[in-house]
Amino acid sequence: MGIRESFDGKRILIWGYGREGKSTEKFLKSHSAPANIDIYEGSRDGINEDNYDLIIKSPGIVMPEDDPKYTSQTEIFLEEYRGRTVGITGTKGKSTTSAMLYSVLKGCGKDALLVGNIGQPCLDDWDDIRTDTVVVFEMSCHQLEHCHVSPHIAVFLNLYEEHLDHYGTLDKYFEAKSHIASFQESGDVFLSGWNVPDIKTEAKIVRIGKFPEHNWELAVNGVQNMYNAEVVRYIAVDLLHLGENEVKRELESFSGLPHRLQDIGTVGGLRYLDDSISTIPEATIAAVESISDAATVLVGGMDRGINYDLLVDFIRKTADVNFVCSYASGLRIYNEVQSFPATAVYAAGRDVPYRNCYYVNDLEAQVKLAGEITPAGGAVILSPAAASYGYFKNFEERGDVFRELVYKR
C-alpha cells in the first residue's frame, strides 16, 4: 500500500503540535487527501478516539501502553524507508555519531540525509530520498517508544540512567530504546554497545567493543569519540563498502557538534570547553579524562533523582581537579561528596574534607569562581552531569550562556 492509500479518506488526529506535529500536518496535506486533519495538544483523556481512524502522536507525550490506533512520524517513515535507514540511539553520543556518519558518507560521495532527533523531522525529506540514498536517523527513546518497525542497520551505542522522570525505571527506558532492534528482520544488522543488555532480534548482532581497535587522530575532543569513530568506520567500510582510506580521512576531519566538549577559546590564560550536552555522571567523568589539562569542572542542574555515586567517588579521588557545583543536583553532589546530610547547606565553606569541591548559587557564580581558582594554563569545563530544565530552556541555551559569561570576564 502506498502512502496516499494509507491516509486518503482517513480521519486523522495529530496529537502534539511542535516542530514534528507541524511537519506531519504539512506532509499529510501534500502527500495524501485525508477526510480531515485535527490538531490536539491536551492530555489523552480529552481525545475521543472513536472520532478518528488514526492518531499520530508526537514524541515525548506520555502514553504508557501501545494502541494500534496510534502511530508516529518515525513509524510512518520506517514503514516506507527502513531498508535505506541507519538508525542510531544510545544514552550518549547518538548526535555526534549520527553527524559523524553523515559527514563521512557525504565526504566519500555517498548520497545521504541526516534526520530525526538531531533536528530535522524525517517526513520533511520524504521527496529527497532516492534508491541509493542512505538515511542517517538519530533516534531518541521517545521516538522509539511506540515504534513497531526497526531500521535495516540499527546502532545502540550505550545505556545509562537517563529520562527517569519520564520512564520511572532504567528497565522501562531500555525497553523504549530496544525497539531500534527488536523489530529487525533477517538480513538486517544490529550494532550493540558493550554495556547494552541483550535484545531479541532477527538481525545479525555485532558487538561494539569497549576499546577502539584503531588509533584515530580525531579533530574532536573526547575519548568517547574514538568509540563513535569505530562504529562509523564499521558501517561505512564493512556494511556500505566505502574505501578504508577515504573513510579515515573524513573521520579525522570531522569537526564535531556544538556543546560537546567544544573548545570555545582561551580567556585570561584559561582554556574553556563547553560540554553542556553532559547530563549524566559518566559523561562528566569522560570529559575530565579526555582533557589532559582539565583543572576545573562546573557541574549541576536539574535534580532528576539519578544516582551520583560514580561521580561523587570520582570527585573524591581526583584531588588535582576542582569541581564547582551549583543548582539542585549540584547541591546534592556537593553534600554527598562532603558526606553531609541532604538538608545541609554549604555554609561550612572550605573547612570540609574535600577541598576540591565547592558550591555556589548559579552558572555565573561558577564561572567567576572557576576564574579565581583555576591555575594558569588550566582548562575549565562546563560538564554539568544534569539536565538544564528549570534553569535554562535547553542544554544549547546553557552552553550559549556559559560562552557569554566566559567572554564577559
Residue 5 has a pLDDT of: 77
What are the grid coordinates assigned to 250, written together?
573524513
Closest C-alpha among 300, 327, 302 to residue 315: 300
Residues of the chain with pLDDT below 70 are 1-2, 4, 340-352
User: Domains of the chain (ranges plus CATH)?
Assistant: 3-71 (3.40.50.720), 74-253 (3.40.1190.10), 262-408 (3.90.190.20)
Helices (H), 307-384: 309-317, 327-337, 363-373
Closest C-alpha among 163, 100, 108 to residue 305: 163
Residue 290 has a pLDDT of: 94
Measured on CA atoms in the order 200, 88, 314, 226, is the torsion positive or negative?
positive
Residue 347 has a pLDDT of: 45
Q: What are phi and psi of 100, to 5 degrees?
A: -65, -45
Q: What are phi and psi of 95, to 5 degrees?
A: -65, -50
Inter-residue long-range contacts of 123-132, CB under 8 Å, 24+ positions, other chains counted: 123/23, 123/24, 123/27, 123/73, 123/76, 123/77, 124/23, 124/26, 124/27, 126/27, 126/31, 126/77, 126/80, 129/81, 129/84
Residue 2 has a pLDDT of: 66
User: pTM for the full model?
Assistant: 0.89
What are the grid coordinates assigned to 206, written together?
555485532
Structural element, H or E, at residue 19: helix 19-31
